[in-house]
Amino acid sequence: QVQLVESGGGLVQAGGSLRLSCVASGRTLSTYAMGWFRQAPGKEREFVGWSRFTWSGGTTYYADSVKGRFTIARDNAKNTVYLQMNSLKPEDTAVYYCAADHLNNGGSDLATYRYWGQGTQVTVSS
């Protein structure tokens, strides 16, 4: 079993930055695909980005809405995945979730991911 715990959310003004962390316990995440998703009030959970494990260091993919502003990074020694969020906008306000796929398939489909964290709230004020 894998347990994921997100942290780092909070209230920030538009244009600001936050870094979310997702710490795993139970298994090493180094070979897992790791995804970030978010869910705004009254909306469905949506894809933000994901990181595929590769022996050369991994590859990342992002939703068009966050491309160029958000960055996913992995620290395998700490069994942690980060989501660096810059140039935040009010429409980025949501609960952010990390997810893990032990098969390293990843992608934007929520169903691909077996393990989920409890989420962390990000609020961007205008």
Asked if residue 22 lies in contact with residue 117, where contact means CB atoms within 8 angstroms, the answer is yes
Residue 113 has a pLDDT of: 97
How distant is the alpha carbon of residue 103 from its chain centre? 17
Tens digits of residue pLDDT in 4-33: 999 999 999 999 999 999 999 988 888 899
Contact in structure between 74 and 58 (CB atoms under 8 Å): yes
- The answer to whether 27 and 36 have CB atoms below 8 angstroms apart is no
Average pLDDT for 70-86: 94
Q: Please check the confidence at residue 56 and state whether its pLDDT lies above 80.
A: no
Among 8, 28, 46, smallest CA distance to 100 is for 28
**What percentage of the chain exceeds 70 in pLDDT?**
100
Amino acid at 44: E
Which pair of structure tokens corresponds to residue 65? 């809405």
DSSP assigned state of 43: S
Q: What is the mean pLDDT of residues 57-61?
A: 88
Q: For residue 118, what pLDDT is reported?
A: 97
